[in-house]
């Protein structure tokens, strides 16, 4: 199984997916390389950082459920997809560290010139421009808000500088089902307004955000996405945006293998008002890494319950450490658990069956709120009150 690698330094980094926005860390080894789909020009050479693919299905996405044809979607919604260039991008995260000009994609969401893209495309940029036509005029864009925890950014342009500005309709990602047809439009390798098609391959995936935390409820697709597609729309058969193309898994190689990931549009819709206003997104933080308990894991570790969230790591200085929650002890050589940590079985009186339940419970809180956790320490059950903190800007992923 291949570890997650930094595309720039090519060294192993933590291969766990961290429960984003929520303070909890869920251990889920992906065994694939996740890399950003933008192109960064660093001078004499180009470093390509990939992040999300879309393959052609046998049938047309418009062929079912009264959907539109790809041609119709491309002709109409394609005009609202922007090619983005961000100069002076400097990034230091799980996606590596580079400085130069990043390229990506974005899409218009209102008639005031608001454009949504990926945070990793524009975060830290000195200057951002967008264009809507091949060899078209470059328009200055202001970065209004960036949220590295969801990998979403909002730009603002003067709508008067665009003739016939096209606003893309936003769909409902909660209604998606595996097998639904999708269309991606973006600028892979700088080839503006390129359309590719595929299906929804899976739902409720998790991917690492630039901050080191994880993004939940991610859409997996086989639609072909390449460097430069980052931030572009994933559309349903009606031409509605249901996701923001963000990453690909490469299986340890250097190219796409047909496994792409898009941040759900429902996540973006919740954040849009604050990002438009240039406000920081505040999230509650618990400060643990957890694993979902299965019957086999419970039997192997002789746990008190066969479901719940097992604490594998407690972050230094975090709320969980302050509340006395205990992490698992492991053999440094083998990684084998020698003493299980606390097992969380309830949060605020609600049963906890998986680590995702804790992620959701913390996500519903604000910094400063208190969460009540019922935990097993061995066979002893106790209740712990934890005052949640504000999530740090970046997660320390050093094992």
Domain spans in the chain, listed from the N-terminal domain onward = 30-36+49-73+172-276, 80-161, 284-390
Pull the structure tokens for residue 256: 């796409």
pLDDT score for 395:
63
Among this protein's residues, is 151 annotated catalytic?
yes
**CA-based nearest residue to 373, from 382, 364, 365:** 382
Among this protein's residues, is 230 annotated catalytic?
yes
pLDDT score for 47:
37
Within 10 Å of residue 253's Cβ, how many Cβ atoms? 11
The active-site residue, picked from 93, 105, 120, 214, is 120
Pairing of strands 337-339, 329-330: antiparallel
The active-site residue, picked from 149, 151, 180, 389, is 151
The active-site residue, picked from 93, 187, 230, 256, is 230
pLDDT score for 56:
40
Burial of 390 (0-12, 13-18, 19+ CB in 10 A): middle
Contacts 24+ apart (CB under 8 A), 100-103: 100/40, 100/41, 100/42, 100/43, 100/47, 101/40, 101/41, 102/38, 102/39, 102/40, 103/38, 103/39, 103/187, 103/190, 103/227, 103/228
Among this protein's residues, is 222 annotated catalytic?
no
pLDDT score for 396:
57
Q: What pTM was computed for the model?
A: 0.71
Q: Up-side HSE of residue 104: CA atoms within 13 Å toward CB?
A: 38
The C-alpha atoms of residue 59 and residue 381 are separated, in whole angstroms, by: 55
Give me the architecture of the 30-36+49-73+172-276 domain, per CATH. Beta Barrel (2.40)
Q: Do domains 80-161 and 284-390 have the same CATH topology?
A: no
Q: Which fold has domain 80-161?
A: Thrombin, subunit H (2.40.10)
**CA-based nearest residue to 105, from 85, 133, 83:** 83
pLDDT score for 8:
29
CATH 2.30.42.10 fits 284-390, yes or no: yes
pLDDT score for 336:
83
pLDDT, one tens digit for every residue, the chain (399 residues): 333 222 222 323 222 222 222 232 222 233 333 434 444 333 443 433 343 333 344 444 444 456 789 999 999 999 999 999 998 765 543 333 456 778 899 999 999 999 999 999 998 888 999 999 877 789 999 999 999 888 999 999 999 898 889 999 999 999 999 999 999 999 888 888 889 999 999 998 888 888 777 788 899 999 888 888 899 999 999 999 999 999 888 766 555 668 899 999 999 999 999 999 888 888 888 988 888 999 999 999 999 999 999 999 898 888 999 999 998 888 878 778 888 999 999 999 999 998 888 888 888 888 999 999 999 999 999 999 999 988 887 665 444
pLDDT score for 207:
83
């Amino acid at each position: 199984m291949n570890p997650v690698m930094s595309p720039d330094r090519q060294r192993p980094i933590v291969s766990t997916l961290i429960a984003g926005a929520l303070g909890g860390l869920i251990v889920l080894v992906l065994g694939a390389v996740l890399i950003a789909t933008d192109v960064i020009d660093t001078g004499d050479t180009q470093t390509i950082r990939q992040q999300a693919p879309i393959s052609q299905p046998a049938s047309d996405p418009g062929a079912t459920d009264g959907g539109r044809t790809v041609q119709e979607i491309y002709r109409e919604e394609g005009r609202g997809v922007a090619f983005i260039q961000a100069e002076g991008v400097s990034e230091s995260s799980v996606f590596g560290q580079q400085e130069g000009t990043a390229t990506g994609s974005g899409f218009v969401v209102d008639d005031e010139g608001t454009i949504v893209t990926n945070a990793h495309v524009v975060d830290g940029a000195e200057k951002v421009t967008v264009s809507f036509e091949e060899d078209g005029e470059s328009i200055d864009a202001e970065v209004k808000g960036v949220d590295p925890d969801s990998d979403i950014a909002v730009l603002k342009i003067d709508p008067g500088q665009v003739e016939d500005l096209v606003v893309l309709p936003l769909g409902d990602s909660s209604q998606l089902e595996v097998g639904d047809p999708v269309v991606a439009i973006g600028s892979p390798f700088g080839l503006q307004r390129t359309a590719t098609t595929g299906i929804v391959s899976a739902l409720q995936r998790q991917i690492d955000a630039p901050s080191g935390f994880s993004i939940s409820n991610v859409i997996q697709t086989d639609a072909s996405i390449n460097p430069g597609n980052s931030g572009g729309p994933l559309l349903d058969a009606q031409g509605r945006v249901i996701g923001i193309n963000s990453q690909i898994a490469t299986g340890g190689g250097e190219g796409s293998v047909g496994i792409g990931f898009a941040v759900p549009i429902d996540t973006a819709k919740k954040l849009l008002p604050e990002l438009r206003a240039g406000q920081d997104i505040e999230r509650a933080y618990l400060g643990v890494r957890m694993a979902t308990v299965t019957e086999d894991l419970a039997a192997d570790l002789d746990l008190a319950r066969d479901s719940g969230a097992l604490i594998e790591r407690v972050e230094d200085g975090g709320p969980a450490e302050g509340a006395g929650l205990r992490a698992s002890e492991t053999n440094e050589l083998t990684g084998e658990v020698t003493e299980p940590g606390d097992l969380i079985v309830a949060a605020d009186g609600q049963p906890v069956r998986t680590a995702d339940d804790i992620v959701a419970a913390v996500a519903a809180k604000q910094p400063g709120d208190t969460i009540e956790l019922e935990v097993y320490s061995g066979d002893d059950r106790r209740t712990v009150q934890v005052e949640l903190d504000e999530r740090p800007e970046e997660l320390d992923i050093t094992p």
